[in-house]
Chain A
Amino acid sequence: MDIIFFKIAIILTFVLFFLPKQFQYYWGLFLHISIISISSIWAVQSLFSDVQSLSFPFILFFGEPLHIEIDKLSAFFLLVINFTVLTGALYAKGYLIPYFNKKNKIELALHYFSFLWLHISMLLVVMFRDALAFLIIWELMSISSFLLVIFESEKKETIKIGIKYLVQMHIGAVFIMIAFILAFVRSGGEFSFDGLAVYFESHNPFLLFLIFFIGFGIKAGFIPLHSWLPHAHPAAPSHVSGVMSGVMIKMGIYGILRVLTYIHHDLFDIGLFILIISLISGVLGVSLAIVQHDVKKLLAYHSIENIGIIGIGIGLGVIGVAKNIPVLAVLGFAGGILHVLNHSLFKSLLFYTAGSVYRQTHTRNIEQLGGLIKKMPKTALFFLLGALAISGLPPFNGFISEFFIYAGMFKSLHSAGLYTDIILLFSFSGLVLIGGLAIFCFTKVFSIIFLGTPRSNKVAQATEVEPGMIFPNFLIGFMIILIGFAPMLLVKPLASIVSIFTIDTTPIQQIIPTLNGISISSGIFIVLIGIVWILRAWQQKKQIIKQGNTWGCGYTGANPALHQYTATSYADNFGQLSSHLVNIKKEYKEFKENEVFPKEKSFETHSSDIFEDYLILTPANHFYSRLKKMGVLQTGKIQHYLLYSLLFLIVIYLLTILNWI
C-alpha cells in the first residue's frame, strides 16, 4: 500500500516544471516530507523488529519484479539520509531567496527537481540489491548531484568543476561495474550483491574488494581518490554541500560495508588495507584543511578526515573479526557506523552556518571576516556547537563515536598478538593526532570568522539570518546533544546492525555501564558550570565592572584589526612542520641591505594538494602537451580531410588485396 504512495510521489516530482516560481519550493518540500515519512516507517519497522530484512517487490524491471530489501544496515542509512535531507530542504528555503529573482522558472524547477531526485536515488541506492538497478540508480545519483553542483552556472569555474566531478564519478561507476561483472563472470551467481557471496566463497576476496574499494572510495573521498571533494563542495550552494558532505559521500561507505557483509574469510589483509588508507586520509585530510582559507574548502577537507575516522573504525572492526577479538570487532564497527550518523549531523550543521555567513557577507575567504559573532550570534553559537562536536570533544556526539573506537582498541590490547598490538599502537596514536589537529583547525576557523575585530568591511553589512534558516540548526543541535548525553539509547540498534558483521555482540553489553558513566559525568559537568557561573555572577554583582581596551602594548595608532592574528599566521606554525605534506610555497622579496626607507612589498603563500598535483594535473598536462602535437593534422581545410578519407580507402583496398584483413 505505501509502495504505491512512494511511486506516486516519485512521479509527482515532474509536476515541478509546470508550477509557478512561488509554489515550486512548497511542492518540493511536501514531496520530500511524504517520501521521508514512508521510507522512515519502513526503516523503523526493519530496525526494531527481529526480522532479518524487509523485502517487497517494487517495480517490474526487464520483465522480472525488482525487490527492495531493507535490512538493518539499509534501515540505518535510510534514517540518516532522511534526517539530513529534511534539514537541507528546510534550510534551502532561506538560502535560495537571493537567487529567486536571478534565475528563471525552469532553472529553479530543475534545481528542486534534482534535489528531490538526489534524495530518491540515495534512498533507492541503499534499498536495491540487483546490480543493474543499483548501477542505474548510482548513475542517477551522480547526475542529479552534478545538476545541483552547477547551480551557479553563471560562473565559468563552476561548470569546469562540475564536469571534473562528473568525470570522476563516472570513473568510480566504471570500477564498480567492472567488479560486478568480474564476479558474475567468474562465479556464475546472479548479477547482484547477493551473487557476490558465491564469488567470495571460492576466490580470494582481496582483488575484487580492491576494485570495489576504488569505485566506492572515489565517492566516499578516501585519499588518494578525493580530488573532486575540495572543488565540488565549495562550488555547490550550501544546502547541497551539506547534503552531499553529510550523506552522499556516505553512500561510498555503504557500498564498502555492503560488500564486506559477504566476505567471511581472509579478512586480515582487507582490514589492514582499509586501516592504512583511513589513517592516511585522516591525517592528510585535516593537515590540508588547516592551511585553507576558503571556509567551505576547509570543511570539505574535514569531510575527508572524518571519512578516515569512519574507515579506521571499520578497518579495526574487520581486523577484529579476522583475528577473532570480539571486543575490537564489535566496538570498531559500532564506532565507525555511529560516526556515519554523527558526521552527517555536525558536518551539515557546519555547512549550513557557513552558508549563512556566505549569504550575508558574500565571501568565503575567512581572511576577510572577523567579529561576526556580534552581528550573527545565533549562527556563531551553532558553528561553535558544530566545531566542538567535530573535534570529538565531550559532551557531544563526536566524542561518543571516537570513544567507541578507543574503547575497542584499549580493551583488546592485552588479548591481541604482537603484530595486532603494533597496528593498534599506530591506530590510537593516529586517532589522537587527528583529534588534536581537528582542535587546532577549528579553533582557527571559529576564531578568525567570528571573533576579534572585523578584518574588512564585508562584515559591516552582515545581519543575522531569518529564523527559517536557523530552525534546521536547532533540529540538528538537538540531535547532537541528545546523542552526546544519552548514548545508551543507541546501543540496541547499533548492536543489531553490527551483528550483521560479527556474530558475537556481547561486548556491547559491557559498554553500557561506561556509557552510563559518560552521561552522568556530562550531567555533573553542566551542573558544575552552572555553579561556577552563579558564583561569579554573585561575586560580580558587588563589584565594579569596567570596560577597557585590549592590551595593545602601546600600539594606539593602528587599526585594531591590523595587529590581530590572521588565518595564515595561525596555520604557519603547523605549516612549517608539514611543509612537504601540504606543499606550502611562500613568495616574497626580502628587504635589501641598503634599503633604508622600505618600499611596498608583497608576500604570498600558497598551498596545494599534492595528490591532485601529482596524480591528476601533471599527467593530464603531460598527456595534453603530447597530444597537442597531433594537432597538426587538423588543418581546417576540407581538401585535406577528403585527402585523409581517400588515403584511408586506398589503404583498406590494399590490405584486402594482400589478404591481411
Chain B
Amino acid sequence: MTYLLIILYAITLVYFALSERVKKFIWILSIQGAILFGVVLFSLNKIELFDFLFILLETILVKSIVIPWFLNKVRKHNNLKREHEPYVPVFFSLIMVVLILLISFVLSNYLNNSQMRAQYFTVAIASVLFGIYFIITHKNIFSHVVGYLIIENGIFLLTLAVGSVNPLMVNLAVLLDVFMGVLVLGIFINHIGDTFSSVKSEHLSKLKDN
C-alpha cells in the first residue's frame, strides 16, 4: 500500500512540473498532504500512540488544510492567476522531473542498507531536489513559497525514512519551522504586493545597495 502512495506522490511531482496556475499549485500541495497522511497511517505503527496521533494530525490538518487555506488567502489578496513565463519552458521541467526521479530511485538502490527505509528515501530526495529546482526556475515569490513547502514535504518523508527512535521531536521542530516560515512569508508577500503592486522577485533585486 505504501508503494502505491509513493508512486502517487511521484506523479504529483510531475503535475507540479506541468502546471502553471497558482490555484493548481495549492490544490496539488493539499493532495500531497493527504498522501503523506496515508503514508503515515500505513507505516508508522511501532511508536507510541500519542506521537502517532500527533503526526497524523500534523499531516492532515496542517499540511492539507491549514497551510493551503492560508495560501489561498494570500492568493486572493494579491490576485494571482498564473505563473508568467518561468525561466525554462515547461517541457524542459518535465524532462528534469523525470531525470530527478530516475536519479533518486537509482541512488536509493545504491544506498540500500538496513538502517534506512529506502522506499521513502526515493521520493524524499526527489522531492527535495525538485523543490530546489522549482524555486530556481520560477520568478514569482509565491512560487518560491510553494517550492519551500515541497522541500518541507521531502524532509518530512526523510524523517520517516531514516526512522529515528523519537520522531516526535524532529517533527515538532519541523512543524514550527514550517508554520513560522509560511506565516512570515505570507505576511511578507502581502506587504510586498501592496507596496510594489506585483510579486515578481526581480523587483526585489531593486533593494540592492547600489
Give A426's nearest chain B residue, CB to CB.
B102
Q: Which residues of A contact B89 (CB under 8 A)?
A: 577
Q: B109 near A418 (CB under 8 angstroms)? A: yes
Interface of A, secondary structure class, is helix
Q: A422 near B106 (CB under 8 angstroms)? A: yes
Cα–Cα distance between A577 and B91 once the two chains are bound (Å): 8
CB distance from B97 to the nearest CB of A (A): 15
Q: A418 near B91 (CB under 8 angstroms)? A: no
Cα–Cα distance between A188 and B96 once the two chains are bound (Å): 49
Q: A422 near B102 (CB under 8 angstroms)? A: yes
Q: Could you tell me which residues of chain B, from 80 to 119, have a CB within 8 Å of some CB in chain A? A: 89, 91, 102, 106, 109
Cα–Cα distance between A577 and B88 once the two chains are bound (Å): 11
Give B92's nearest chain A residue, CB to CB.
A580
Q: Which residues of B contact A577 (CB under 8 A)?
A: 89, 91
Interface contact tally, CB-CB below 8 A: 7
Cα–Cα distance between A156 and B5 once the two chains are bound (Å): 67
Give A425's nearest chain B residue, CB to CB.
B102
Q: Which residues of B contact A418 (CB under 8 A)?
A: 106, 109
Q: Which residues of A contact B106 (CB under 8 A)?
A: 418-419, 422
What 0/1 pattern do residues 140 to 178 of B give for CB contact below 8 A with A? 000000000000000000000000000000000000000
CB distance from B151 to the nearest CB of A (A): 26
Q: Which residues of B contact A419 (CB under 8 A)?
A: 106
Give A577's nearest chain B residue, CB to CB.
B91
Cα–Cα distance between A22 and B109 once the two chains are bound (Å): 73
Q: Could you tell me which residues of chain A, from 115 to 155, have a CB within 8 Å of some CB in chain B? A: none
CB distance from A572 to the nearest CB of B (A): 15
Interface of B, secondary structure class, is helix
Q: Count how many chain B residues have C-beta atoms less than 8 Å from C-beta atoms of the other chain.
A: 5
Cα–Cα distance between A330 and B109 once the two chains are bound (Å): 30
Q: Which residues of A contact B109 (CB under 8 A)?
A: 418
Cα–Cα distance between A419 and B107 once the two chains are bound (Å): 11
CB distance from A555 to the nearest CB of B (A): 34
Cα–Cα distance between A613 and B106 once the two chains are bound (Å): 37
Cα–Cα distance between A577 and B95 once the two chains are bound (Å): 13
Q: Could you tell me which residues of chain A, from 407 to 455, have a CB within 8 Å of some CB in chain B? A: 418-419, 422
Give A576's nearest chain B residue, CB to CB.
B89
CB distance from B8 to the nearest CB of A (A): 21
Cα–Cα distance between A418 and B89 once the two chains are bound (Å): 31
What 0/1 pattern do residues 557 to 582 of A give for CB contact below 8 A with B? 00000000000000000000100000
Give B91's nearest chain A residue, CB to CB.
A577
Cα–Cα distance between A419 and B110 once the two chains are bound (Å): 11
CB distance from B86 to the nearest CB of A (A): 15
Cα–Cα distance between A577 and B92 once the two chains are bound (Å): 10
Q: Could you tell me which residues of chain A, from 380 to 420, have a CB within 8 Å of some CB in chain B? A: 418-419
CB distance from B92 to the nearest CB of A (A): 9
Give B102's nearest chain A residue, CB to CB.
A422
Give B110's nearest chain A residue, CB to CB.
A418
CB distance from A424 to the nearest CB of B (A): 13
Q: Which residues of A contact B102 (CB under 8 A)?
A: 422
Cα–Cα distance between A606 and B106 once the two chains are bound (Å): 41
Cα–Cα distance between A577 and B109 once the two chains are bound (Å): 34
CB distance from B145 to the nearest CB of A (A): 29
Cα–Cα distance between A419 and B102 once the two chains are bound (Å): 11
Give B109's nearest chain A residue, CB to CB.
A418
Cα–Cα distance between A422 and B104 once the two chains are bound (Å): 13
Q: Could you tell me which residues of chain B, from 123 to 137, have a CB within 8 Å of some CB in chain A? A: none
Q: Which residues of A contact B91 (CB under 8 A)?
A: 577
CB distance from A266 to the nearest CB of B (A): 22
Cα–Cα distance between A422 and B91 once the two chains are bound (Å): 21
Cα–Cα distance between A418 and B112 once the two chains are bound (Å): 14
Give B89's nearest chain A residue, CB to CB.
A577
Cα–Cα distance between A433 and B24 once the two chains are bound (Å): 30
CB distance from A128 to the nearest CB of B (A): 46
Q: Which residues of B contact A422 (CB under 8 A)?
A: 102, 106
Cα–Cα distance between A411 and B102 once the two chains are bound (Å): 22
CB distance from B52 to the nearest CB of A (A): 35
CB distance from A548 to the nearest CB of B (A): 41
What 0/1 pattern do residues 450 to 479 of A give for CB contact below 8 A with B? 000000000000000000000000000000
Cα–Cα distance between A419 and B91 once the two chains are bound (Å): 25
CB distance from B18 to the nearest CB of A (A): 15
What 0/1 pattern do residues 486 to 526 of A give for CB contact below 8 A with B? 00000000000000000000000000000000000000000
Cα–Cα distance between A422 and B109 once the two chains are bound (Å): 13
Q: Could you tell me which residues of chain B, from 55 to 90, have a CB within 8 Å of some CB in chain A? A: 89
Q: Could you tell me which residues of chain A, from 40 to 74, have a CB within 8 Å of some CB in chain B? A: none
Q: Could you tell me which residues of chain A, from 571 to 622, have a CB within 8 Å of some CB in chain B? A: 577
CB distance from B72 to the nearest CB of A (A): 34
CB distance from A47 to the nearest CB of B (A): 43
Cα–Cα distance between A204 and B109 once the two chains are bound (Å): 29
Cα–Cα distance between A374 and B89 once the two chains are bound (Å): 43
Cα–Cα distance between A403 and B34 once the two chains are bound (Å): 45
Q: Which of B89, B91, B109 has most chain A Cβ within 10 Å?
A: B89
CB distance from A280 to the nearest CB of B (A): 14
Cα–Cα distance between A418 and B102 once the two chains are bound (Å): 11
Cα–Cα distance between A394 and B162 once the two chains are bound (Å): 53
Cα–Cα distance between A612 and B24 once the two chains are bound (Å): 43
Cα–Cα distance between A577 and B90 once the two chains are bound (Å): 10
CB distance from A88 to the nearest CB of B (A): 42
CB distance from B90 to the nearest CB of A (A): 10
Cα–Cα distance between A419 and B106 once the two chains are bound (Å): 8
CB distance from A131 to the nearest CB of B (A): 42
Give A579's nearest chain B residue, CB to CB.
B89
Cα–Cα distance between A418 and B108 once the two chains are bound (Å): 12
CB distance from B41 to the nearest CB of A (A): 31
Cα–Cα distance between A608 and B16 once the two chains are bound (Å): 34
CB distance from B10 to the nearest CB of A (A): 16
Cα–Cα distance between A422 and B105 once the two chains are bound (Å): 11
Give B88's nearest chain A residue, CB to CB.
A580
Cα–Cα distance between A419 and B109 once the two chains are bound (Å): 11
Cα–Cα distance between A422 and B106 once the two chains are bound (Å): 9
CB distance from B190 to the nearest CB of A (A): 35
Cα–Cα distance between A502 and B127 once the two chains are bound (Å): 44
CB distance from B40 to the nearest CB of A (A): 29
CB distance from B30 to the nearest CB of A (A): 32
Give A418's nearest chain B residue, CB to CB.
B109
CB distance from A66 to the nearest CB of B (A): 52
Cα–Cα distance between A405 and B91 once the two chains are bound (Å): 28
Cα–Cα distance between A422 and B110 once the two chains are bound (Å): 14
Cα–Cα distance between A498 and B33 once the two chains are bound (Å): 55
Q: Could you tell me which residues of chain A, from 221 to 257, have a CB within 8 Å of some CB in chain B? A: none
Give A419's nearest chain B residue, CB to CB.
B106
Cα–Cα distance between A419 and B105 once the two chains are bound (Å): 12
Listed A/B pairs (7) with beta-carbon separation below 8 Å: A418-B106, A418-B109, A419-B106, A422-B102, A422-B106, A577-B89, A577-B91
In the A-B complex, the 6 residue pairs with the smallest Cβ-Cβ separation, listed nearest first, are A418-B109, A422-B102, A577-B91, A422-B106, A418-B106, A577-B89
